[in-house]
Structure 1
Amino acid sequence: MDTLFIPGWLITFVIVAILVLILLIKGYVNAKPNEVVVITGLRKQRHLRGKAGFMIPFVEQRSYLDIEQFSTDVRTSESVPTLDFINVRADAAVKLKIGTTDEMIARAAENFLNWNTTDISNSVQDVLEGNLREVIGQMELRKMVNDRQEFASKVQDNVAPDLAKMGLEVIAFTVQSFSDEGGVIDNLGIENVETIKKDALIAKAKAERERKEVEAEQDKLANDKRVAADLEIAQKQNELKLKQAALKQEADIAQAKADAAKGIEAEVQRREQERVAAEANIMKQEKEAEVKEREVKVREQELDANIRKQAEAEKYARQQAAEAELIERQRKAEAELFETQKEAEARKAQAEAEKFAQLQEAEAIEAKGRAEAEAIRLKLEAEAKGLDQKAEAMKKMQEAAITEMVVDKLPEIARAVAEPLTKVDKITMYGEGNASKMVGDIMQSIDQVSQGAGFDIRQLLAGALGVNMTVNKLKEGDQPVIEAEKLASKED
């Protein structure tokens, strides 16, 4: 049977390969994130955290440090006097972990290599309690109770250097409670409760006062806004009234101008009608004067032919009646003139009073007053012009009118003079020249009447009858003779 031959070098290579593989597997190291692998041996200390590495088996060795945080309770084993000499006990919770720097890991490796967190917590109890007691002795009880955060910060700051020397870090330090044997803390609580109640009452009263102040302020603001709104409404209404008044004023001005224009136009038309009527009346009166002049001539001829002596007698009566009527007409004319003047003065005074009152009113009424005053002035001017025209017409026909009146009244005058004589049986005259004296007295009376009337009755009658009368005083015992001469040729 044949024997298998294996070279020696191959066997050596296989053995070496197996040994190398075993060494690699034995020397491979893998560190978790929450642990640190500490490699010590051939060279200086090496640390692996959250990564893999190699070490030389049988020459180097590995150890573990747990770097996750852990909690521990710290209590004072006995009462500790505070700065104000009150014995208290304190209970706190502390969170610790091994530092992650190489220096901190080296320190922790020196103290806690391959320790669990419970062992580490037990080992640092005396350090934590000592620092806790130290800080209690530095603070007053009221300040510790009222400001626990400051107390915890002081303890954490005080213990951190000591723990750092062991490779530990303080993550958090929380005070859970304070207690004392004399009930001081409870009394502080009661005091605080009362203080809180007092503060609450003060705060409530202050809040109530502020609420009332706010309500009063709001009421004031609301009232101010309401007053401002009412004022604005009143102003708007006033502006509306002023605008309406202005519009009414403009309307009144326009109406006044229209009324004034109508009044002026009406006054112009009235004046034109009066002028036309006056001209027509003048023409009518001239025609009537011509007719009456002809009638007077006819009557003159009749009187001259039929009743010379009766005409002498009636003449005196007519003269008296004419004088009386003329005086009456003059009085009436003066009265009418006086009434016209008074009416004009009254109108003027009324216009001035209306003008004064209208000056106190708005511009529209003032304009209307001016228009009315202008209309009144035009009317008065028209009336004055009409009166002037009428006076002119009367002036033209005065002589013919007076003559007509005298002629119309001559029969009545004659009857009035002759009627008393019908009741007389006889007339006896004494003295010389009685007949001529009577005639002279009659003529003297006629002259006196002419002077009182303001016109010559003899000339008037002479013009009316077309004759000129001459009275000659006869001698004693003679009868008066009236001579008349025709003056028609002289008048022509």
Structure 2
Amino acid sequence: MPPLSLLIPIGIAVILILALFFTGYVKASPDTAYIISGLRRQPKVLIGKAGVKIPFLEKKDILNLQLIPIDVKTSNAVPTADYININVDAAVNVKISDQPELLRVAAQNFLNQPTAYICAVAREVLEGNMREIVGKMDLQEMVSDRQKFAELVKQNAEPDLASMGLDIVSFNVQNFIDDSGVIENLGVDNIVKIQKTAAIARAESEKEIAKAKAMAQKEANDAQVAAQQEIAIKQNDLAVKQAELKRISDAKKAEADAAYRIQEQEQRRTIEIATSDADIAKQEKEIVIKKREAEVQEEALNASVKKQADAELYRRQKEAEAQKFEMQRAAEAALFAKEQEATGIRRVGEAEAEAIRQKGLAEAEAMEKKAEAYQKYNSAAMGEMLIRVLPDIAQKIAEPMAAIDKVTIIGSGSEGVSSVADGVPAVMAKLFETMRETVGIDLNEIVRAGSYDAKVNRNVAVSGIPETITLNTQTAEKEEETAVEEKDEDESEKER
């Protein structure tokens, strides 16, 4: 292990070396060039990188590599190739070249110099070259082709600036100025030409624009007309289609309405026919019912009349028989009394008895004839009674017809009315026929023969009566009075 006395110097030496290193360490930015010179035959150039310079033995110098803008103007008027004095104003950008050879030249010329110095040197070189080019070119050529003028000046000035270590980055001509107004006069013709060309171009353009507008408007109008025509065609087609559809719809509707009306009329006719048939059937049924009722009433009336006549006949027959029986009993009683009396006075009363017997026989014979007369009288009385009740019978027959609310007469002319009006007489005729066939009494003959008084009291023969009545007026009146008295007695008995 080395002794401590050796380590200390070594440490100090190391520290010194490190201090020297860090002290000599340099780093250049990209727009700056560090020129390190001293121990080397050629200076070391650092651009955008780091390096080490030996302290106290080497030196670091700086060159600015940034662009240097220069406004180059001619200090006085410069005559052109066509002897026109002009002033030129240009904007130029230069910089120190980064090529090693040119950089070394620039280091020799501008090391540690300010930018203003570099700008002044470069301006003098550029102005001289610009004057040289102005003298070689015509004014019109320079004015019309500034780029050519700038390229010629740049090409002419680059060797001079390269000998100083500078590069031309850009050269732009700003203005050409003359005090005589030549440039302005040169521009008059061009202005006129340009204006003319511009006017022509404008006119052509306006013409083309107008033409294009007209064409566009025409096309638009054509398109609009075509569209309107197409719309009109479509609308016409639509209207035709709508009309056709409406016609079809109206036809269908008319057919439906006609079918509905026909069906409605058919239904109405069917209903009317059914109603008429029903009314006719009802009327026929009512007629049958009324006819049946009339027949029933007729039969009932006939039965009632017959019953009443039979009852009256039976009553009178019974009365006659009873009267005959009473008379016979009375005669027998009288005969018995007389016989009893005759038994006592047979001899005296045989003649008287015989007379009485003959008288009784005569009276009995009279009574029999009276009974027969009663029987014959009863038939005539029955006819008289029937004649008296004929109005009531007609009323009873007409009552059902009077109760009918509505009568529908089917038929033309007066036949229907006459058929209705003939109903009651027809029933009456039927009643007369029934009476003639059942009872044997012909009411027609009785009506033709006159009243009861003419036929009975006056001994008028009535055809149709089973037996001819030949009673005298006195006997008939007596018998009539007896019948009236008996009728009054019967009514009194009924009231009791």
TM-score (norm 1): 0.43
In terms of Rg, which structure is larger? 2
Larger relative CO (CA 8 A, sep 6+): 1 or 2? 1
TM-score (norm 2): 0.43
